[in-house]
């Protein structure tokens, strides 16, 4: 086994350990700033791009399996849920390593920042589009360090990723200063002493960045965000078995009973009761006869009619305007048992909730017979907010991202631009039966509160049920994998001005893309000028 292979494997183990896992519940920030040091050295010290790409494939395979091991617990679909992302990230990292290798061909003065820029752009690209999967970002090990996370209101989570990767690359240059390849040394005129000086300079620049980000955090953590009103919420964590498809009535009864216990503890009625994603398994309106009879001990329609507040819950919905559109939805059911408002999940899980070319017979047969998926959801028809009346009579606009939708920065930004005052996420991660799956989801979501400076409420089936303030701090929570509830008065914040991220969105990674494109074009032009064979056909024109 070669030195570069060992270094790559070391990072492939350390990087998942830096992220939330069963050993470090919320991740490990110390590992976050050194986990990729061995991988940087492996890529830098590899002489050929093809060899670097093979190291990238190895890193992608091992880090994905270790960081997303909980995907192996998706019942009979586990071979697809863990196999698909692993194969995908082998391919992604194979390509990424080629670009990282090219970045490390530059002189020591430039290559750490170029390495960080390339990695930041990669994390952005893997977090958008149909196959988007914003898990395992380099920023996540630092989610508990509120002093350093405040910067994401300006840069999005990408700014924290950029600093973290740059810190790794700078540390690598200090540990092992080297003129990566002879050609690089020849172009730059660098010496070993110059490489050492560059490493020290990068380390100093890292310190400056960390201090700057920290000082910004001090200012923002002490800033006051006005509270316009409050909402009294009751969140129900029923801890139902996600794999139970036989006894649908029993989990519903447990949820109802926990709701009644929560309401009995209150001195006054809440403004809203919130259940988790897929709390209702059958269509509420089309299967109303079932809900009129079940659960037998306490029929759901009877339960609803006696609630002192509207119920917000997850369940399937047939679009009233399109009978062929079936949504994974949030329903707002009033005590008169009528659905007054609803939202359909917009960003569906690829190849699980949404399958390309599903209308094609061959595709449908493959997923039905081989994979075991017999139907798909329809993406929701755009942004929809829920209007809830507070106790003082004011209207509060609530966005309700479903499940992993609260991990997508661009999506939650669209809710805020549409007028959302509060974000309430309904999710169900219980199928994994692991803490790390639920905490990784939570860590990704909590950055949305900071980016938009809005409160974030997460109502889950089995955890992690939390209330998060606009600074990303957990105000209240409940333990995972227990039947419980969380009753709280939630402030509705009204920032005097929108955050930079809300206004400009993902300006940082897009700027990085433009910068890297310009640098790449400049490199191509420089090489063309230095290559007589390429210049020969145009020599007469150049001479004139």
Point out the residues that are catalytic: 277, 345, 403
CA distance 437 to 429: 7
Contact call for residues 413 and 452 (beta carbons, < 8 A):
yes
- CA-to-CA separations, 193 to 45, 115, 179, 182, 200, in angstroms, rounded: 18, 21, 10, 15, 11
Please return the burial class of 135, using the count of CB atoms within 10 Å of its CB with bins 0-12, 13-18 and 19+: buried
Give the whole-angstrom CA distance, residue 284 versus residue 476.
31
Query: Is 140 in contact with 20 (CB distance < 8 Å)?
Result: yes
3-state secondary structure at position 228: strand
Distances (CA, A) of 311 to 80, 96, 388, 457: 35, 46, 11, 15
Query: Between vectors from CA 127 to CA 122 and to CA 128, what angle results, nearest 5°?
Result: 110
- As beta bridge partners, residue 477 has 466
Decide: helix, strand or coil at residue 530.
helix
Residue 518 backbone phi and psi in degrees, to 5: -65, -45
Angle at 32 between CA 54 and CA 170, to 5 degrees: 75
| CA dist 7 → 12, 39, 327 (Å) | 9, 6, 46
Cα angle 371, 372, 373; round to 5: 100
The DSSP code sequence of 129-156 is: STT----S-TTGGGTT-HHHHTTHHHH-
Reported as type and span, the H/E element at residue 466 is: strand 466-468
Place of tokens 């659960």: 295
Distance of CA 116 to the CA centre of its chain: 19
* 8 A C-beta contact, residue 121 and residue 512: yes
Specify burial of residue 410 (Cβ count, 10 A radius: 0-12, 13-18, 19+): middle
């Amino acid at each position: 086994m070669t030195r570069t292979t060992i270094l790559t494997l070391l990072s492939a183990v350390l990087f998942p350990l830096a992220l939330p896992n069963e050993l470090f519940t919320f991740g490990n920030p110390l590992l976050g700033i050194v986990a990729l040091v061995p991988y940087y050295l492996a890529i830098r010290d590899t002489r050929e791009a093809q060899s670097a790409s093979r190291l990238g494939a190895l890193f992608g395979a091992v880090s994905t399996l270790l960081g997303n091991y909980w995907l192996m617990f998706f019942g009979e679909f586990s071979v697809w849920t863990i196999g698909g992302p692993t194969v995908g990230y082998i391919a992604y990292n194979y390509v990424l390593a080629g670009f990282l290798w090219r970045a490390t061909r530059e002189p020591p003065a430039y290559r750490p920042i170029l390495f960080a820029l390339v990695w930041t752009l990669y994390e952005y690209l893997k977090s958008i589009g149909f196959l988007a999967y914003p898990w395992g970002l380099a920023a996540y090990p630092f989610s508990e360090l509120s002093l350093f996370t405040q910067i994401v209101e300006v840069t999005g989570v990408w700014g924290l990723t950029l600093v973290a990767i740059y810190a790794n690359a700078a540390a690598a240059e200090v540990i092992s200063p080297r003129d990566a390849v002879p050609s690089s040394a020849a172009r730059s005129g660098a010496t070993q002493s110059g490489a050492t000086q560059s490493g020290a300079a990068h380390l100093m620049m890292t310190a400056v960045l960390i201090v700057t980000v920290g000082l910004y955090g001090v200012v923002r953590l002490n800033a006051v965000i006005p509270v316009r009103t409050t909402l009294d919420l009751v969140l129900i964590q029923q801890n139902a078995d996600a794999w139970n498809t036989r006894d649908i009535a029993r989990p519903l009864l447990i949820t109802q009973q926990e709701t009644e216990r929560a309401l009995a503890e209150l001195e006054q009625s809440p403004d809203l009761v919130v259940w988790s994603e897929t709390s209702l398994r059958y269509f509420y309106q089309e299967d109303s006869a079932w809900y009129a009879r079940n659960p037998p001990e306490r029929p759901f329609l009877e339960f609803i009619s006696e609630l002192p507040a509207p119920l917000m819950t997850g369940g399937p919905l047939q679009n009233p305007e399109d009978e062929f559109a079936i949504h994974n939805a949030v329903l707002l059911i009033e005590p008169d048992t009528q659905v007054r408002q609803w939202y359909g999940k917009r960003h569906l899980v690829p190849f699980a909730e949404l399958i390309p070319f599903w209308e094609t017979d061959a595709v449908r047969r493959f997923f039905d017979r081989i994979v075991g998926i017999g139907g798909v959801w329809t993406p929701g028809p755009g942004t929809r907010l829920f209007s809830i009346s507070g106790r003082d009579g004011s209207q509060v606009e609530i966005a309700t991202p479903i499940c992993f939708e609260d991990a997508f920065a661009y999506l939650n930004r669209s809710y805020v631009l549409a007028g959302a005052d509060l974000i309430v996420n309904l999710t169900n991660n219980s199928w994994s039966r692991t803490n790390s799956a639920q905490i990784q989801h939570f860590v990704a979501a909590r950055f949305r509160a900071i980016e938009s400076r809005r409160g974030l409420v997460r109502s889950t089936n089995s955890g992690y049920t939390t209330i998060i303030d606009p600074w990303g701090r957990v105000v209240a929570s409940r333990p995972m994998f227990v039947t419980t509830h969380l009753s709280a008065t939630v402030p509705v914040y009204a920032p005097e001005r929108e955050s930079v991220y809300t206004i400009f969105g993902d300006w940082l990674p897009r700027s990085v893309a433009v910068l890297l494109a310009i640098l790449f074009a400049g490199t191509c032009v420089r090489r063309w000028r230095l290559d007589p064979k390429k210049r020969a056909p145009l020599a007469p024109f150049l001479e004139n």
